[in-house]
A and B are shown apart, each in its own frame.
Chain A
Amino acid sequence: QQQVKQSPQSLIVQKGGISIINCAYENTAFDYFPWYQQFPGKGPALLIAIRPDVSEKKEGRFTISFNKSAKQFSLHIMDSQPGDSATYFCAASIRGGSQGNLIFGKGTKLSVKP
């Protein structure tokens, strides 16, 4: 019930291409879905987040698509750049919960080739 499944484990994309990372969740109580970006030797940093009352959220080159019926959400990185090379984690939590628990996926290591 608490799992968030993320795929692929690793991804190689050419500069200028589109990177797509997918996540699926089981717990229907989850209603907040952030994506975190982590560079080597650094802690994760919030990239973009979505709530299930919208199907898509876009911030610059980053877009989250959300499918509530399928319990899936994905991150799209348009015009991928070498500087986007990092590990990306999807996560889920309950907004109105009494705790701030974030349940993370296992991560996707993205490499953008110049």
Chain B
Amino acid sequence: EAGVAQSPRYKIIEKRQSVAFWCNPISGHATLYWYQQILGQGPKLLIQFQNNGVVDDSQLPKDRFSAERLKGVDSTLKIQPAKLEDSAVYLCASSLRLAGAETQYFGPGTRLLVL
């Protein structure tokens, strides 16, 4: 079974530029999550989707971050404009169902450096 795919793996941008990350979840997984992992910290949920609908985006900085999951499969996360404090690893995860005890499968992440 193929895992969660993410691209690009690394990205370096100047502050105020925009950037987009792509995620392809495990086939058949209805729930998709985007996490932000700052160096030395645990992942922090930014947004979660159930199929193509948003379940929770309460921690997404909506003035600069946006995400979509068209057709309930792939998802993109965009930052516009980027700030220095956005430097982090952005992790995508998916699970079969939307439930607190469902195993979340993580992709390798996209490491973003904002200069």
B106 & A97 in contact (Cβ 8 Å cutoff): no
Interface size on B, residues (CB 8 A): 27
Q: A99-B48, A99-B55, A104-B42 are in contact. Are A32 and B100 (CB under 8 A)?
A: yes
Q: A99-B100, A106-B42 are in contact. Are A45 and B106 (CB under 8 A)?
A: yes
Q: Tell me if A14 counts as interface (CB < 8 A to partner B).
A: no
B98 & A98 in contact (Cβ 8 Å cutoff): yes
Q: With a CB–CB cut-off of 8 A, which chain A residues contact B109?
A: 42-43
A95 & B99 in contact (Cβ 8 Å cutoff): yes
B residues adjacent to A (C-beta < 8 A): 4, 31, 33, 40-45, 48, 55-56, 91, 93, 95, 98-109
Chain A interface main SS type = loop
Q: Which of B43, B93, B100 contacts A93 (CB 8 A)?
A: B100
B98 & A102 in contact (Cβ 8 Å cutoff): no
A residues adjacent to B (C-beta < 8 A): 4, 6, 31-32, 34, 36, 41-46, 49, 51, 89, 91, 93-102, 104-107
Q: How far is the CB of A31 from chain B (nearest CB, A)?
A: 8
Q: How far is the CB of B32 from chain A (nearest CB, A)?
A: 10
A41 & B56 in contact (Cβ 8 Å cutoff): no
Q: Which of A43, A95, A99, A104 contacts B44 (CB 8 A)?
A: A104
B41 & A101 in contact (Cβ 8 Å cutoff): no
